[in-house]
Chains A and B, each alone.
Chain A
Amino acid sequence: MRDLFMDEFAVSLLVQELGLIIYQFTQQNLPACKPVLSPVWVVQIVYRYDVECVPALYRSNKLAYIKDNSIPKNCSKSLKIRWLPLELKICFQLVFMRDAHGFLANSKLMKAPIYIYYQLDNYYQNHRRYVKSRSDRQLLHGLKHHDLSSCAPEDFNHGLPVVPCGLIAWSLFNDTYSFFRGIDEMKVNRKNIAWKSDRDHKFGKQVYPFNFQNGTLSGGAHLDPKIPLSDQEDLIVWMRTSALPTFRKLYGRIEEDLDADDIITVKLLNNYNTYSFTGSKKLVLSTSSWLGGHNNFLGMACISVGVSFIFVAFVFMLIHVKNPRPYGDTTNLSWNWKPMSG
Chain B
Amino acid sequence: MGIGSMSPIPMLSRDSSVCSQSVIQQYLIVMKIQGRSHMKLNHQMRLPLLLQPGSSALNSSKEHKQVYVKELDPVSGKFIERSYKLLNVLEFNSSRKRMSVIVRDEEGKLLLLSKGADSVMFERLAKNGREYEEETREHVHEYADAGLRTLILAYRELSEEEYKAFNEKFSEAKNSVSADREALIDDVTEEIEQDLILLGATAVEDKLQQGVPECIDKLAQAGIKIWVLTGDKMETAINIGYACSLLRQGMKQITITLDAPEIIALEKMGEKNAIAKASKQSVLRQITEGKNQVATSSTEAFALIIDGKSLAYALDDDVKKLFLELAIGCASVICCRSSPKQKALVTRLVKEGTKKTTLAIGDGANDVGMLQEADIGIGISGVEGMQAVMSSDIAIAQFRFLERLLLVHGHWCYRRISSMICYFFYKNVTFGFTVFLYEAHASFSGQPAYNDWFLSLYNVFFTSLPVIAMGVFDQDVSARFCLKFPLLYQEGVQNVLFRWRRIIGWMLNGVCSAVIIFFFCIQALNLQGFNKDGKIAEYQILGATMYTCVVWVVNCQMALAISYFTLIQHIFIWGGIALWYLFLLAYGAMPQSISTTAYKVFVESLAPTPSFYIVTIFVVISALVPYFVYKAIQMRFFPMYHGIIQWIRYEGWSDDPEYCNMVRQRSIRPTTVGYTARSLARTNPLDGIQNHR
Contacts and interface: CB of A to CB of B under 8 A. Distances in A.
Contacts of A316: 632, 636
Among A295, A298, A328: residue with most chain B CB under 10 A: A328
B496 A295 contact: no
Given A126-B442, A246-B526, A342-B223, A334 B538 contact: no
A45 interface: no
Contact of A293 (B223, B534, B638, B640): B534
Contacts of A146: none
B593 A334 contact: no
A34 interface: no
A78 B648 CA distance: 72
Contacts of A342: 223, 225, 328, 354, 356
B134 interface: no
A77 interface: no
Given A126-B539, A128-B446, A330-B666, A140 B524 contact: no
A316 B636 CA distance: 9
B442 A127 contact: yes
B425 interface: no
Interface stretch (B60-68, B604-612, B679-687): B604-612
State which size class the interface on A falls in.
35 or more
Given A127-B442, A195-B605, A201 B592 contact: yes
Interface string A110-150: 00010101010000101111010000110010000000000
Given A127-B447, A292-B531, A293-B534, A332 B625 contact: no
B528 A137 contact: no
A291 B328 CA distance: 69
B177 interface: no
Among B531, B535, B639: residue with most chain A CB under 10 A: B535
Contact of A312 (B524, B539, B543, B629): B629
Nearest to B521: A243
B534 A298 contact: no
Contacts of B293: none
B593 A295 contact: no
Nearest to A323: B637
B447 A131 contact: yes
A119 B527 contact: yes
Nearest to A195: B604
Contacts of A245: 441-443
A288 B534 CA distance: 6
Contacts of A131: 447, 539
A6 interface: no
Interface string B603-644: 011000111001100100110010001001000111111001
B391 interface: no
A210 interface: no
A201 B604 CA distance: 13
Interface in B528-550: 528-543
B604 A293 contact: no
Interface stretch (A99-107, A215-223, A301-309): A301-309
Contact of B592 (A124, A136, A292): A136
A281 interface: no
Given A245-B441, A288-B534, A316-B636, A298 B529 contact: no
Nearest to A312: B629
Contact of A248 (B522, B536, B637, B638): B536
Interface string A178-200: 00000000000000000111000
A250 interface: yes
Given A243-B543, A288-B529, A291-B610, A301 B622 contact: yes
A113 B648 CA distance: 61
A124 B538 contact: no
A113 B523 contact: no
Contacts of A270: none
Contact of A247 (B446, B527, B636, B663): B527
A332 B637 contact: yes
Interface in B573-611: 592-593, 596, 599-600, 604-605, 609-611
Given A245-B441, A288-B534, A325-B636, A197 B539 contact: no
Contacts of A115: 529, 534
A48 interface: no
A246 B527 contact: yes
Contacts, number: 180
A158 to B, nearest CB: 29
A62 interface: no
B445 A196 contact: no
Contacts of A140: 592
Contacts of A243: 522, 526, 537-539, 541-543
Contacts of A176: none
A325 B639 CA distance: 11
A273 interface: no
Contacts of A244: 441, 522, 526, 542
Contacts of A302: 618
A340 interface: yes
Interface in A229-271: 240-250, 253
A297 B662 CA distance: 51
B211 to A, nearest CB: 25
B564 interface: no
Nearest to B497: A334
A333 B443 contact: no
Contact of A292 (B604, B611, B625): B611
Given A312-B629, A328-B648, A333-B640, A301 B496 contact: no
A336 interface: yes
B520 interface: yes
A301 B604 contact: no
Contact of A336 (B540, B541, B621, B666): B666
B536 A247 contact: yes
Contacts of A328: 644, 648, 659, 662-663
Nearest to A241: B539
Contacts of B297: none
A242 B438 CA distance: 12
Given A301-B520, A333-B641, A127 B445 contact: yes
Contacts of B534: 113, 115, 117, 250, 253, 286, 288, 292-293
A286 B530 CA distance: 12
Contact of B640 (A129, A247, A249, A334): A334
A335 interface: yes
Interface in B238-287: none
B445 A124 contact: yes
A197 B600 CA distance: 7
A325 B637 contact: yes
Nearest to A242: B538
Interface string A316-342: 100110000101101011111000101
Among B494, B527, B543, B629: residue with most chain A CB under 10 A: B527
B653 interface: yes
Interface in B442-476: 442-443, 445-447
A241 B528 contact: no
A117 B534 CA distance: 9
Contact of B625 (A288, A297, A308): A308
Contacts of B526: 243-244, 246-247
A131 B451 CA distance: 13
Contact of A249 (B494, B536, B600): B536
A293 B528 contact: yes
A324 to B, nearest CB: 10
Contacts of A333: 639-641, 644, 666
Contacts of B615: 298
A291 to B, nearest CB: 5
Given A126-B441, A316-B632, A250 B614 contact: no
6 contacts: A197-B600, A240-B540, A298-B615, A302-B618, A328-B644, A342-B328
Given A195-B535, A319-B636, A330-B644, 4 more contacts: A243-B539, A308-B625, A330-B663, A340-B669
Top 5 nearest A-B pairs (CB, nearest first) are A293-B528, A293-B529, A115-B534, A243-B542, A128-B447
